[in-house]
A and B are shown apart, each in its own frame.
Chain A
Amino acid sequence: MWAYQKRLQYPINIKKKDLRMAKYLVTQYGGGNGELAAALRYLNQRYTMPDNRGKALLTDIGTEELAHIEMISTMIYQLTKDATVEELMEAGLGTNYAEHGPALFPTDSNGVPFTVTYFAATGDPLADLMEDMAAEQKARAVYENLIDMTNDPDVIGPLLWLRQREIVHYNRFKELFEAYQQQYQSKIEPREN
């Protein structure tokens, strides 16, 4: 089970409304390389990890991704707070307002809603961990794209911080991948035809 902590993992305090940035940033909430996909990917894959190392790592990183969803959501909320309908329409968020009013909704930057087809689960720990490594790299790249598009230090600070988390997670997954590769792949007998 999980227990909520009524705080962010890293503080966010955005003072300037920026609707265009919110429209771009939403992809780290509901896009293919976003935090929601990351959390569900790891928390879903963990059941079929071959030992408790993998079950622990995917549980603990998956849990941290839930905290990142909250950080990204907070950023979107603060960037769009008190926006008028006219301002939302002008920034290209009119379609979002038509569907969801002022509510947050997990989509990518193009407004395409979140779908579980963004992640995979094969039951093969090497295949799944390789996907997890790629996911962290793609999320890192998207954070860099987003940092390139703003000059607000209140936005850049948390994005830089989240980018580092992708790097740490990538390396943890890589260590586990390499350990499993040594441990399990050498023991797999070639299949007879």
Chain B
Amino acid sequence: MNNFNEQGNGFLDMMPANMMTLPNNMFQNNTLNPNQMNSNMQTGIQGNTQLSTPQEGFMRGNLFGDLYQQYKNYRPAVLTPRNEKDRLFLNYAQLAFAAHELNLYLDNFPNDRSINRLFNDYRTMSNQALRAYEEKFGPITITSEQLNQFPWMWEQLNFPWDEGGM
């Protein structure tokens, strides 16, 4: 018997997307085209940069629609939160991933004003999402306010490779 549904011991249910029915316009409807966002690129990325939403990008492991290459007929796994802990964790992981993707892009194209703005939006949202998770389910970072309690909280929650860890 699994006990994954228990609050505090949850995890994300992973199911390959090709075992589920996905609306096939899911991606198109969720894209932002930075080329239509008053882009100010000086170093000239080769057009057509289609950015997915943090949710779609995180599912795929790739925020850039024009860089995405499907392998054979495999579709990305769909991550389904089973409880509040999963939901808050997934929300943070998605936003942190989106900010990280734009971070790597901006390293190469530091003068792209619209991506810079989007990075800062995701960075802000990601920080908020991290605080929201930590307030309810304990510290992910050693700088968390949730460590301001006794006894030592850092080692009480499971590590990521163990059951119940994130």
Which of B22-30, B32-40, B96-104 has 4 or more CB atoms under 8 Å from chain A?
B96-104
Which residues of chain A have C-beta atoms less than 8 A from B76's C-beta?
Answer: 157, 160-161
In the complex, A60 Cα to B108 Cα: how many Å? 11
Given contacts A11-B14, A161-B61, contact A147 B71 (CB under 8 A): yes
> Is there an interface contact between B61 and A8, defined as CB atoms closer than 8 Å?
no
A124 to B100 CA separation, bound complex (whole angstroms): 27
Contact of B93 among A9, A56, A60, A144 (CB under 8 A): A9
**Does B107 lie within 8 Å of A10, measured CB to CB?**
no
* B71:A144 contact, CB within 8 angstroms: yes
- Does B157 have its Cβ within 8 Å of any Cβ on chain A? yes
| A8-66 CB contacts (< 8 Å) to partner B | 8-13, 15, 53, 56-57, 60-61, 64
Interface check B118, CB cutoff 8 A: no
Q: How large is the interface on A (under 10, 10 to 19, 20 to 34, 35 or more residues)?
A: 35 or more
In the complex, A120 has a CB within 8 A of chain B:
no
A162 CA / B60 CA spacing, docked (Å): 9
A3 adjacent to B160 (CB under 8 Å): no
Give the docked Cα–Cα distance between A60 and B90 (Å): 22
Tell me, in angstroms, the Cα distance from A115 to B64 when the chains sit together.
Answer: 34
Interface band, chain B: 35 or more
Contact between A157 and B104, CB atoms less than 8 A apart: no
**Interface segment out of the listed A85-93, A95-103, A169-177, A185-193:** A169-177
Tell me the bound Cα distance from A165 to B141 in angstroms.
Answer: 24
What are 5 pairs between A and B in contact, CB < 8 Å?
A10-B93, A156-B77, A160-B61, A160-B77, A164-B61
Could you list which residues of chain A lie within 8 angstroms of chain B, going by C-beta atoms?
A: 3-13, 15, 53, 56-57, 60-61, 64, 70, 73-74, 77-78, 144, 147, 153-154, 156-158, 160-165, 167-169, 171-172, 175-176, 179
Please report B residues at the A interface, Cβ cutoff 8 Å: 2, 11-12, 14-16, 19, 43, 45, 58, 60-64, 67-69, 71, 74, 76-77, 79, 89-90, 93, 97, 100-101, 103-105, 107-110, 139-143, 154, 157, 159-161, 165-166
